[in-house]
Amino acid sequence: MVFIKDAKKEFLDQIINKRVLVFVHLDVDALCSWKILQHLLHCEHILYSVIPINSKQALEDAYNQHKQVANNIILINCGATLDLVEILQPPEETIFYLIDSLRPLEVRNVYNGIQIKIIVLQNELGIEQKLVPEYEDIFDEEEENDEENEEEEDGDENLDEEEPERNRSKRKRFDPEYLEKMHAKREWESKRSKILFEYYKYTYHRCSSSLVLFDLAWKSAKDNNDLLWWSIIGLTEQLINCKIDRDIYTRYVVELNSHVLRHNHRPAVNALGTSNTNPAPDDVSINCLKISHLDDLNMVLLRHWSILESIYHSIDLACLFKMWTNKGKKKLNEFLADLGLPLNECKQKFAYMDSSFKNDFKMLVASENIKEKYRYDENFIYLSTFIASFGYTNKLTAFDMAYAVEALMENVDGEKNLSDKFIEALNCLNRENLKALECGIETAKNHLKKIYQQIQNFIDMNQIVASGPFLQVFLEEGSNENPFFSQIFTSKKLARFALQSYLALTKGKKVRNMPLIVCIPLNESNTLIAGVPPYRATNNTENCFGLAFDEAAEKTKSRVNFSYFDTSIIEINNEDKSKFLDALVAVMQ
């Protein structure tokens, strides 16, 4: 096992005074992790080069361009599921450090031992180890040796005359010991493929990379409020994109809360982590970052939007009211009336609302009769998160930040390339840069509106249809919004929202346990297919599409491109699409 046991000793101390090359995947968690890692590298004066990537091909290209720069390579949220040694062919002295939340880990990475080191949360080391199959079950050293020997023997035999060889093979064939060995080997092989199938069956996520790195920063006594804030944002993103479910999220929130209390306990240290010489409680500057835990309303970007719009675009609430129907819109109005909120107050920005309404709002939604009437519970309407304040700006929740940063990355703008988006998103994470943040929040609103509109279309046109064991929905070809929906996280979000809204409007029991795929035409020749697992209240994070896509592609020999690290998103040639989907139905049954 190459899980690093002591991240400080075996990772951070190892790279001091060396150049490192860092590959960062383009997602919020990876960016937050990078910010934390960057702080650690700066502390140690470690020189680095950093390259943002978004696909497997990009990783390969970037590696080949930069491999001579450094022998120590850190991969954040990318590559742990790939056989790195096989794909990149690194020289022997190169060492990869992997920090990835995506599972299952490629077993060859786990058991590589020399060149690949995987960093996981230390508390979860035991669990992670249990998840990976035992070495003996999947690798057979004897067998590998045997094969080598046989090859050598074969080589020798060819030189000899043919007669002795035949004798030998005959002897082999009838030797009971040999036969038994062969039998055992076959049994072992079938067991092995079974184990591997079970292991690779689902793709899912575990603890966010930013938490892993924050843990490292904490253990090297270099943590501060900023790092903590980034790790909170990283965790939040995992919940937004359904990488982890609510239970696990809550568990981590409790864990992080202890750090939050530690850092925001007065007399406080200031945000940069330098010790505050004057510990008088009121001396904490307004510009310092202050974080506190909060049970917030489960409404998107509420602090930057109006109540009405926020409810419209929160998928959970939209499904509760079945917002895509006329009845649903009436029901929402009724709901607001029950809360005693005038409609014109609900339509203006939450921040400018009459403060008496604002204060009551949060209490009222959780009052008994409202909860009973609209059939939801406290867990549904409240979401525990963290809220940060600094300077004289609005308070920000971790969700606002995560939405804003993601929107900047998923923004489709012809002029901006990967690197621009990377820098823009990183700027947004810098809290000095309020303009970027505002821009991010506006973009996020736009994105949510587009998704809402698209789902309204799906529902109006009855475009979500069951096809065998899963639901599917196609986007129309030639729509202007297709490039936007084909972004990695947006496509999945669209799929998830479509599934959830479909379930809210459909009564049948059978559809409850169905996953959904969404097909988005990319250009004349290619289509992007993204799959999401069935919607359940808990444990809805294991995605079985990776293996299913693989199998269906193999059966039909379709031209499929698994370009992303997340295998549940693929690109497929249009000509192969229909036969691929047919095969997918067969595979899934």
**Are the C-beta atoms of residues 74 and 21 closer than 8 Å to each other?**
yes
Identify the CA nearest to 319 among candidates 504, 508, 532, 538. Answer: 504
Q: What gap in Å lies between CA 199 and CA 138, rounded to an integer?
A: 11
State the SS3 of 196-248: HHHHHCCEEECCCHHHHHHHHHHHCCCCCHHHHHHHHHHHHHHHHCCCCCHHH
Q: Give the H/E segment covering residue 420.
A: helix 418-429
**Residue with structure tokens 């193999």?**
554
Cβ distance to other proteins smaller for residue 43 or 461 = 43
Q: What gap in Å lies between CA 294 and CA 337, rounded to an integer?
A: 26
In order, the DSSP letters of 544-568 are -HHHHHHHHHHHHT--EE--SSSTT
Q: How far is the CB of 424 from other proteins (least distance, A)?
A: 11
Cβ distance to other proteins smaller for residue 72 or 238 = 72
Cβ distance to other proteins smaller for residue 192 or 416 = 416
Q: How far is the CB of 433 from other proteins (least distance, A)?
A: 9
Burial of residue 574 (number of CB atoms within 10 Å: 0-12, 13-18, 19+): middle
Q: How far is the CB of 38 from other proteins (least distance, A)?
A: 8
- By residue count, the chain amounts to 589
Cβ distance to other proteins smaller for residue 19 or 166 = 19
**Dihedral sign of CA atoms 507, 513, 514, 516 in order:** positive
523's tokens: 């250009």
Cβ distance to other proteins smaller for residue 359 or 417 = 417
Question: Helix or strand or coil: residue 102?
Answer: strand
**Are the C-beta atoms of residues 536 and 564 closer than 8 Å to each other?**
no
Contacts of 30 (CB under 8 A, 6+ apart): 24, 76, 77, 78, 209
Cβ distance to other proteins smaller for residue 20 or 233 = 20
Q: What gap in Å lies between CA 244 and CA 334, rounded to an integer?
A: 34
Q: How far is the CB of 414 from other proteins (least distance, A)?
A: 16
Q: How far is the CB of 121 from other proteins (least distance, A)?
A: 26
Identify the CA nearest to 405 among candidates 441, 433, 432. Answer: 441
Cβ distance to other proteins smaller for residue 48 or 399 = 48
**Are the C-beta atoms of residues 428 and 405 closer than 8 Å to each other?**
yes
> For residue 584, what are the CA distances in angstroms to 463, 468, 512, 554?
19, 9, 19, 11
Cβ distance to other proteins smaller for residue 35 or 243 = 35
Write out the residues near other proteins by the rule CB under 8 A: 19, 41-42, 45-51, 65-66, 68-69, 417-419, 423, 430
Cβ distance to other proteins smaller for residue 358 or 416 = 416
Q: How far is the CB of 419 from other proteins (least distance, A)?
A: 4
Greatest distance between any 2 Cα atoms in the chain: 100
Question: Helix or strand or coil: residue 20?
Answer: strand
Cβ distance to other proteins smaller for residue 206 or 222 = 222
Q: How far is the CB of 51 from other proteins (least distance, A)?
A: 6
Q: What gap in Å lies between CA 144 and CA 137, rounded to an integer?
A: 14
Q: Where are the alpha helices (DSSP H) in 486-573?
A: 488-505, 545-556
Q: What gap in Å lies between CA 544 and CA 557, rounded to an integer?
A: 20
Cβ distance to other proteins smaller for residue 353 or 425 = 425
Cβ distance to other proteins smaller for residue 68 or 480 = 68
**Are the C-beta atoms of residues 263 and 291 closer than 8 Å to each other?**
yes
Q: How far is the CB of 78 from other proteins (least distance, A)?
A: 16
Contacts of 392 (CB under 8 A, 6+ apart): 286
Cβ distance to other proteins smaller for residue 379 or 417 = 417
Cβ distance to other proteins smaller for residue 44 or 160 = 44
Q: How far is the CB of 499 from other proteins (least distance, A)?
A: 36
Degrees to nearest 5, angle at CA 306 with 301 and 308: 105
Q: How far is the CB of 416 from other proteins (least distance, A)?
A: 11
Identify the CA nearest to 29 among candidates 203, 223, 204, 243. Answer: 243
Q: How far is the CB of 263 from other proteins (least distance, A)?
A: 23
Q: How far is the CB of 468 from other proteins (least distance, A)?
A: 44
Q: How far is the CB of 451 from other proteins (least distance, A)?
A: 29
Q: How far is the CB of 223 from other proteins (least distance, A)?
A: 21
